[in-house]
Amino acid sequence: MNNLKQWTLALFFYTDNNEDTLPREKPCADQSPWPFSCHTWDAAAAPTNYKVWYNALPPLIGKPALAEYAANPSRRMHFYSRESLFHCPRARFPANWDAIPMFSLAINAKLMRGSVDMGKISCILDPARTVLFFDIGLPGETPVNSGQQTYNGQPHGFGRRFSARHNGYGDLAFADGHVESLQGTRVVDSSGKAIFPQADVVWTCDPKDDPNL
């Protein structure tokens, strides 16, 4: 929960200095389906991806960006250390964790829609219920519901990849600054989708929107 609070603080610093603009969620523009080939150590280290959240936010709280780990193969596994703040301490990574940078905490992708892949934090209508960061699923973890999207440790997502790795609960950081642990069934419905109509948890700028679209 402390790590999520730190990322939220960093995001507030970032938006304050960038006219409310949120950092990018991923290194590639919005595509469907998203090409996972974009999510590599080399992509993370590319100069064109300095505005992706995992590179833009860490320096604001005195931590190395993912690009710093990625650029030096001998340091890549330090990305998984507790000191990096990128991970939930309860996360258990699969055997191929060195192949790509896998994430156990991620940014809410539903705040950045469209080809530009950027949004404004000022678009959020209900900060107390709107997610900024959350526990995202890793390969091998038990999903909240079998209908969820495949857990792959990507750096962005929403309810369909939410992980309840804390004995059936998962942690979420909200746009008003608070962090909360919620039972998986309050975040994901019986079909594996984000709950809609949105109630306890909101993934979109407008709570009336369907996050599953």
**Number of domains the chain contains:** 1
**Placement of tokens 């900024």 in the chain:** 132
Residue 115's pLDDT is 41
Q: Within a domain: residue 196?
A: no
Q: Within a domain: residue 151?
A: yes
Q: Within a domain: residue 200?
A: no
- The domain in which residue 11 lies consists of 2-186
Beta strands at 156-157 and 131-135: parallel, antiparallel or unpaired: unpaired
Tokens of 109: 């992708």
Q: Within a domain: residue 195?
A: no
Residue 28's pLDDT is 76
**Placement of tokens 């409310």 in the chain:** 20
Residue 34's pLDDT is 54
Of 189 and 38, more confident? 189
Q: What string of DSSP letters covers 43-103?
A: HHH-GGGTTBHHHHSGGGGT---HHHHHT-GGGGGGGGSGGG--S-TT----TTTTTS---
Q: Within a domain: residue 173?
A: yes
Q: Within a domain: residue 118?
A: yes
Q: Within a domain: residue 60?
A: yes
Q: Within a domain: residue 198?
A: no
Q: What is the pLDDT of residues 12-63, one digit of tens each?
A: 999 999 999 999 998 876 555 556 668 899 999 999 999 999 999 999 999 9
pLDDT at 9 over 50: yes
Which pTM does this prediction carry? Answer: 0.94
CB 69 within 8 A of CB 54: no
CA dist 68 and 47 (Å) reads: 11
Average pLDDT over every residue of 88-110? 94
